[in-house]
Amino acid sequence: MVKIYGHHISGKSTKSDSRKTFQVLNPSNEKVIAKFQLGTKKDINKAVEAASQAHKKWSSVPAPKRGEILLEIAKILKKRKQQLGKLESTEMGKILQEGLGDVQEAIDVFEYMAGEGRRLFGYTTPSELLHKSCYTIRQSLGVIGVITPWNFPIAIPAWKIAPALICGNSIVLKPSSDTPMCAYELVKICEEAGVPKGVINIVTGSGSEVGAEIIKHPKIRGISFTGSRSVGEFVTQNAGLKKVGLELGGKNPIVIMDDANLNLALKGVIFGAFGTTGQRCTASSRIIVHNKVFKEFEEMLVEKTSKLRVGNPLQSTTDVGPLINNAAVEKVHNYTNIGKKEYAKLLCGGEKIGTKGFFYKPTIFTNVTPKMRIAQEEIFGPTTVLIKVNNLKEAIDVCNSVDYGLSASIYTKDISNAYLFIEKVESGIAYVNAPTIGAEVHLPFGGIKNTGNGTREAGIEGIHEFSETKTVYIDYSGNLQKSQGIKWNQK
Is residue 181 within 8 Å of 33, Cβ to Cβ?
yes
Give every CB contact of residue 163 below 8 A, 6+ residues apart in sequence.
109, 113, 116, 457, 462, 463, 465, 466
**Among the options 167, 182, 190, 281, which is catalytic?**
281
Is residue 397 within 8 Å of 385, Cβ to Cβ?
no
Mark whether 399 is an active-site residue.
no
Three-class DSSP category at 189: helix
CB-based burial of residue 33 (10 Å sphere; 0-12 exposed, 13-18 middle, 19+ buried)?
middle
Mark whether 247 is an active-site residue.
yes
Three-class DSSP category at 61: coil
* DSSP state at residue 250: -
- CA 264, 443, 232, 52 dihedral sign is positive
Separation CA 352–CA 1 (nearest Å): 31
CB atoms near residue 411 (< 10 Å): 28
* DSSP state at residue 286: E
End-to-end CA distance of the chain: 83
List the beta strands (DSSP E) in 291-415: 345-348, 352-353, 359-360, 363-366, 383-389, 404-405, 407-411
**Closest-CA residue to 240 (of 212, 206, 272, 270):** 212
- CA 427, 253, 107, 178 dihedral sign is positive
CB atoms near residue 337 (< 10 Å): 10
**Among the options 185, 209, 247, 457, which is catalytic?**
247
* CA-to-CA separations, 231 to 26, 208, 214, 248, 282, in angstroms, rounded: 25, 10, 13, 8, 18
Residues pairing with 142 in the sheet: none
**Closest-CA residue to 117 (of 65, 81, 157):** 65
* DSSP state at residue 278: G
Three-class DSSP category at 79: helix
Catalytic residues: 247, 281
